[in-house]
Chains A and B, each alone.
Chain A
Amino acid sequence: MIPSIELDQFVDRVMAELEKKLGSPDVSVTTESANSNAVTHSATDSGVVTIKVPQPRWEEGLAELIESTPARIGVWRTGTRPLTKEMLKFRCDHAAAIDSIYGEVNEKLLEQFGLFTVDTCYENTENYLRRPDMGRIITERGMDLIRESCKAKPQVQIVVSDGLSANAIDANLPDVYPSLLDSLTAYGLKVGTPFFVKGGRVAVMDHIGELLQPDVFVLLIGERPGLVSSKSMSAYLCYQPRKGTVESDRTVISNIHPGGTPPVEAGAYIGTLVHKMLEQKTSGIHLDL
């Protein structure tokens, strides 16, 4: 497996070569001070609106439309087919999506935030995809580790899981997690012992809930990757999740990535949600926002 970052760089190089040969008619509408070492591989990640239509009849109007959506619109064509560059970009985004499912979360990141790792019964990625139910149960060994290491009955339990995108955790945890901790501290709330779950599904919070009996559970988990972003994260929150908790009892903030729900602000707002759940002693559709 090729790590996604190398593939990105490779495609960028190919595209740069192509541009040199063909001469790019691109008109940059809004240029952002792009981080020089960042790799831009989709419209939303780069934040740069580029009009690819060579002579638009109404440039301003087209720019407005392109800016309004991360979808691939106004990408131009050759004959009836897409441009090679666009095709490569599409395949690159698709490859990145697949890679994030098979990828692994950076160990150093987990160390940095002091997160130990437990496994679910997922066994391997193929099985994880086929058997969602196995991603909802922590292994015996993991359960022992949780019992040993974690504070029982915490006010707030934070758990991080790769879910369907390890990329999402790598990209967003450094922004969401500390911001969430700050917010909880500002509300005067007490956090239990956080850890990382490998191969987790959303409802793994019920199993862990049984074990640790927290008041509010916050699960930061990688989302099913898409073609707009492969590193989108969700925060699932639940008041006293236990065995048999129904999905409507969970509150979710989704699409957390720099091109979607802003990560730092999301972290702060999750703190507000936790505070409201403790106040109202409920979550999901019963929570009054």
Chain B
Amino acid sequence: MDGSWITSAGIDIGTSTTKIIISRLKLVRASSALSLPRYEIAERQLLYASPIYQTPLKSWDEIDADRVWSIVSGELAKAGITKADLKSGAVIITGETATKANASSIVHLLSERSGDFVVATAGADLEGYLAGKGAGADRRSNQIRGAVANIDVGGGTANVAIFRRGKAIGTVTFHIGGRLIQLGERGNLLYISPSIRPWLNYRGYKLERGSSITFIDLKELCQQLCRSLLRYLSGNASSEQTYEAHTLLLGKPLNPLPDMEEWMVSGGIGKLMQDQAPVTLAETAIFQDIGPLLAHTLKECMNEYSLRWIEAEETVRATVIGAGMQSTEISGATVHLNAKLLPIRNLPVLKLDINEAMFHPPIELGHAVEETLRGSTSLFDSEASPPFALSVTGTFALNYVNLQQLAEQLHIRFIRYFPNSEVMVVICERDIAQALGQALQRRAGSGLQVICIDQIRVEHGDYIDLGEPISGMMIPVVVKTLAFSQRDGGMDS
């Protein structure tokens, strides 16, 4: 089955714009014919990119679900894609839109209507991460020694994702965006978002709806806003300046801040940076907001720092491309599956870290499994089936005896604490899933179905979506990670 393609969609509903892309991912056997099979996504091709639509809103507080769906279905039709073709992908709701009253229900509705395995995602961390991948910051970081930051600035938020050697090492989000202040062509203020108020108050700006602002003052405001962000990211902020940046923060700060070598800007603001700089209020307010001016001020301000500015591969479509093309991973190809139970969406991850010392004798292993599963009864819905995906991590190679001990402990305690669950999902980091899966299934008999996959890295607090098997050997997986920050709470619904 070499060279098979899966079609993947990305849908991004942002503060100001909505867009869709269709891509295809090529699966290629990555291991030799003499080894265990292992497939990789070798190529990610963009097939279709929709025009940029204005995000349809019913009111300040409500997204227009019907109009969003008509955009999505219209674009899928234009791309010549049916629901059955879509094997993977992600819907993401970004920026300020995510705070709208019906955001979560819309993203789930869209994911269910668009295809069997188009998943719902949300959360500023994931948004920044996907944008960074879409903009190419992860690949760029593989070419240089230092870390690369992508700053995705849209209408409502600036999502920063930092990559080093191809891996995300941190994300942080600020209330900075083109549509947070909206104005007419004479500088008359039409809207000031509550999310930027704390910063405006801190800086002593007294902006009110109905009053006016001059171009010079607005430019100065944009400069202060950009410097506040950039100073923080460059690591040069004094404690007072850090406090100032914190008034803009959405979620937790990034601590410690990694040393960065390069930065790039994606999102709508990244695109506007390529246009002519506005020099009057009328030129600024072409979209009735501060977007164009913010973009050019940001560009100017970035030159004041020692970090190297590089162009993002994608700007306004970075997030949607990240969601459509970069969110899917492929599990190992020697796994234990039950196709009837898939797909499974939105499974929270519970982590069990094992080490070799636990097995001599396996008493400590028993304690560790006991503690993890007993503790989880209060965290997860014990009526859910499955209640969670158990991620088994540890870097040593399990031998047959250890593997049986592990299976024994996992099985006993799982049925003790989750007697109503008919499915048990286990995710391993190392290539042991088929062996562990068969060892678990042998113990579980026919009452409990085991799904065991490997070569997927997940962390406690992540959510994972498991797709339908490809060639009966492996499954596409979307990991919705929260690992970049210590933010509390779930990520969607």
Q: Mark B27-43, 1 if CB is under 8 A from A, else 0.
A: 00000001111000000
Residues of B within 8 A of A262 (CB): 36, 397, 430-432
Complex Cα gap A35–B402 (Å): 13
Complex Cα gap A30–B396 (Å): 12
Complex Cα gap A183–B334 (Å): 12
Cβ contact within 8 Å between A32 and B334: no
Confirm or deny: B84 has a beta carbon within 8 angstroms of a beta carbon on chain A.
no
Distance in angstroms from B426 CB to nearest chain A CB is 14
Cβ contact within 8 Å between A268 and B396: no
Closest chain B residue to A270, Cβ basis = B36
Where chain B touches its partner, the secondary structure class is: loop
- The one of A33, A254, A261, A269 in contact with B357, judged by C-beta atoms closer than 8 angstroms, is A33
Cβ contact within 8 Å between B357 and A253: no
Q: Mark B369-400, 1 if CB is under 8 A from A, else 0.
A: 00000000000000000000000000111111
Cβ contact within 8 Å between B435 and A253: no
Distance in angstroms from A154 CB to nearest chain B CB is 21
Interface residues of B, count at CB 8 A: 29
Cβ contact within 8 Å between A289 and B37: yes
Confirm or deny: A74 has a beta carbon within 8 angstroms of a beta carbon on chain B.
no
For chains A and B in complex, what number of residue pairs have CB atoms within 8 angstroms?
Answer: 82
Stretch at the interface among B154-162, B172-180, B285-293, B437-445: B437-445
Cβ contact within 8 Å between A268 and B35: no
Confirm or deny: B186 has a beta carbon within 8 angstroms of a beta carbon on chain A.
no
Complex Cα gap A178–B398 (Å): 14
Which of B35, B165, B357 has its CB near the most chain A CB atoms (within 10 A)?
B35
- The one of B399, B430, B442 in contact with A186, judged by C-beta atoms closer than 8 angstroms, is B442
- The one of B37, B356, B431, B435 in contact with A179, judged by C-beta atoms closer than 8 angstroms, is B435
Closest chain B residue to A259, Cβ basis = B397
Distance in angstroms from B440 CB to nearest chain A CB is 11
Cβ contact within 8 Å between A182 and B399: no
- The one of A175, A183, A185 in contact with B399, judged by C-beta atoms closer than 8 angstroms, is A175
Closest chain A residue to B166, Cβ basis = A64
Distance in angstroms from A263 CB to nearest chain B CB is 7
Confirm or deny: B416 has a beta carbon within 8 angstroms of a beta carbon on chain A.
no
Cβ contact within 8 Å between A264 and B398: yes
Confirm or deny: B145 has a beta carbon within 8 angstroms of a beta carbon on chain A.
yes
B contacts, CB < 8 Å to A: 1, 34-37, 145, 165, 334, 355-357, 395-401, 403, 430-435, 438-439, 441-442
A contacts, CB < 8 Å to B: 30, 32-33, 35, 47, 58, 60-61, 64, 174-175, 178-179, 182-183, 185-186, 252-255, 258, 261-269, 272, 289
